Chains A and B, each alone.
Chain A
Amino acid sequence: MSDPKAHVVIVGAGHAGGTLAALLRQYGHEGAITLIGEEPIAPYQRPPLSKAWLKGEADADSLALRPLEFYAENNIDFRPSLRVTGLDRAAKTAALSDGSSIGYDVLTIATGARPIVLPIPGVDLDGVLYLRTAADAEKLKAAIGPGRRLAIVGGGYIGLEAAASARALGAEAVVIEREPRLLARVACEQLSSFFQAYHEAKGVRFVLGASVTTINGVGGKVSGVTLSDGSTPACDAALLGVGAAPNDELAVDAGLETARGVVVDLEARTSDPSIFAIGDVAHRPMPIYERMFRLESVPNALEQAKQVACAITGRPAPAGEVPWFWSDQYDLKLQIAGVPFDADQILVRGDPATAKFAVFHLKGDRVQAVEAVNSPPEFMAGRMLILNRRPVSIAKLADSTVSMKEVAA
């Protein structure tokens, strides 16, 4: 199915799309490459937007995946500020927001996901913020500083990283979470309570088990929020971090198979053999866990970009990877490998009181996932154990005096 001269059109110039364009050239693809992005700037890294960049420790140049010249130098037609509005799969053309259209031999949907907008009054007030794009991050950065009050709706990773950065910059932060604990959707209870205590010690306030019913404003600007418990904390800005939805409308409209995202196979190919989908928008097979899932992470975007680049250039498919995630908050480095599907036991290795511990999610004697705080060996060895599906000695794993090398041996 590979065609070295194929015109590859990449819809979406995020981490996934930008990486695919570069990999295609790296792997020697000779055909034309068109990279279409809605944002005005070249592909960049989003993770630092809530971390190093927000705190002023990284500049815009360092965010860019590659310098702007890279695209012209590598004969990649990068077209910013442009959207694909529809696909004609029979004619193999894509309609563009400037009224023109473009033909393709192979098309890749890398349109990502977008922040969920809460259906509550006040969401269109000035000072209601999201954190997805560099433009979003600019607004957030301008809103936090000494003495400013930030309300964060949603106690997930975006919310917690923003809270950590807000505190580092001297702003007040209150996090409002609908569930009774933080990170409810993505992490175990032990980790939730650890992060809550750590943030509280840094001055972050939490309201758990409460939702925001209204964002209040004065003169069109955010002045506070009303919560389901009746309280009305005041704030100067409200950051909404309540999850993301896949931008899969293009695929739905084109009649491609979708579930929670665009359904793809192990090559990241959709139900149309000429169309791939990668990154946050893809609903992909996860062979280790024998199921389909949509992952929102950079490593997932890179893995799928590699799959597509290999498929298009006729390289052997890359080896399967264990999904992984990371988060930096204060001096904490959280590294997560795997997803705790079907886990029947949770084992804590190390002592959370020392801010250096790991939580292993086990299914029988197999590791399904590991959440490691300031514990790279647990993360690295855990990732290996998940990939190899090897049984592990629970007694050794629980004993932090036994090295992870020995546990994984």
Chain B
Amino acid sequence: MPKITYIEHDGTEHVVDVKTGLSVMEGAVKHNVPGIDADCGGACACATCHVYVDEAWREKTGSPSAMEESMLDFAENVEPSSRLSCQIKVTDELEGLVIRMPENQH
């Protein structure tokens, strides 16, 4: 199971083993990592699982779909590294992935 490091806005780190096939969002929610709300449970309908993907991981995590991009367009504190974590599937390739969380999800 790939290890993913989730870093809260205040710097608190959570290192979690996430089953492949789950999304990066599910990895956080199922382990009660704070900072990712995921109101819609992964339907790409709410933008409350907004995260920042470290530069080094951008390629491996792929690029956002048009739907995801237009949701992100209206999220707060969006940066070039912004993604919706429900749209990133965990694969063995993502061993060591580092994800940072914004201050809030609304």
Contact = CB atoms under 8 A, between A and B. Distances in A.
A381 B75 CA distance: 10
B37 interface: yes
A48 B30 CA distance: 17
Nearest to A383: B74
Contacts of B93: none
B37 A302 contact: yes
B67 interface: yes
A247 B57 CA distance: 47
A326 B40 contact: yes
Interface in B26-67: 26, 29-32, 34, 37, 39-41, 43-47, 67
Contact of A66 (B22, B30, B47, B73): B30
B41 to A, nearest CB: 5
Given A376-B71, A381-B74, A384-B74, A328 B43 contact: yes
A404 B71 CA distance: 12
A377 B106 contact: no
B41 A48 contact: yes
B81 to A, nearest CB: 19
Interface string A303-335: 000000000000000010100101010000101
B70 interface: yes
Contacts of B32: 22, 25-26, 66, 70, 74
A324 B43 CA distance: 14
B34 A26 contact: yes
B65 to A, nearest CB: 11
A380 B71 contact: yes
Nearest to A47: B41
Contact of A67 (B30, B34, B37, B45): B30
B66 to A, nearest CB: 9
Nearest to A27: B34
A101 to B, nearest CB: 30
Interface in A41-87: 45, 47-48, 62, 64-67, 70, 74
18 contacts: A26-B32, A45-B41, A47-B41, A48-B41, A64-B30, A65-B30, A70-B31, A74-B32, A299-B46, A324-B46, A326-B43, A328-B43, A333-B44, A333-B45, A333-B67, A376-B73, A376-B74, A380-B74
Interface of A: 22, 25-26, 45, 47-48, 62, 64-67, 70, 74, 298-299, 302, 319, 321, 324, 326, 328, 333, 335, 376-377, 380-381, 384, 404-405
Given A70-B31, A380-B73, 9 more contacts: A26-B34, A65-B30, A66-B29, A321-B106, A376-B71, A377-B73, A380-B70, A381-B74, A405-B74
